[in-house]
Amino acid sequence: MALVGYARVSSIGQSLEVQREKLLEAGVDAELIYEEKKSGLDSERPQLKEALRFVRKGDTLLVSRVDRLARSTADLYRIVDDLEKKGVGFQCIDQPELDTTSKYGRLMFGILASISEFETGLRKERQMDGIAAAKVKGTKFGRKVQLTTGVIATISKMRSDGKLIRDIMAETKLSKATVYRALSDRSVDIPIVSYI
């Protein structure tokens, strides 16, 4: 039953000393403190991944502050849920109510999970409202249309002039599939050319 610490600062110039001291005072062995000097927005946090791989059933992961571990409530809940599945506790030194080794702490995380789910629902609702408002204003979604009537006519003319598909692709900067799709489009009058 080991105490494992995780400390992170957002930039190389910042010091981990304050977090390290708090973890040592809480009883974490210096060798079991995983330290990271990376942005919380950077999803590649190798030291956190290593700490999460290292912990075993009965261990407890400690951080000085919750924002050192997670970028959002949802991220925190996901990490703590993964720890709980392994039988590992979680404690936050500066926020003692965030302690999954106690009944009260587990209750707090249950509340956090509900808040996280609520936030996700609100975010989706706002997104859908924004999309609906944009559609009312006539905003187009998706990829820009490449095959306009003019482009189709140009490609058809180039082909009827005897140009090779690869040459048409090079000149129009369109893919082979797009060029063939343009050539198969019957909505544009294509001049009939005799090759006899």
User: Where in the sequence numbering do the catalytic residues fall?
Assistant: 10
| 16 DSSP 8-state letter | -
Burial label, 166 (beta-carbon count in 10 A; 0-12, 13-18, 19+): exposed
Packing angle, helices 73-85 and 46-54, rounded to 10: 30
Question: Token digits for 130?
Answer: 């924004």
Burial label, 184 (beta-carbon count in 10 A; 0-12, 13-18, 19+): exposed
Q: What are phi and psi of 52, to 5 degrees?
A: -70, -30
Do the Cβ atoms of 10 and 39 come closer than 8 Å?
A: yes
Question: Token digits for 49?
Answer: 């991944």
Residue among 159, 151, 158, 161 at smallest CA distance from 187: 151
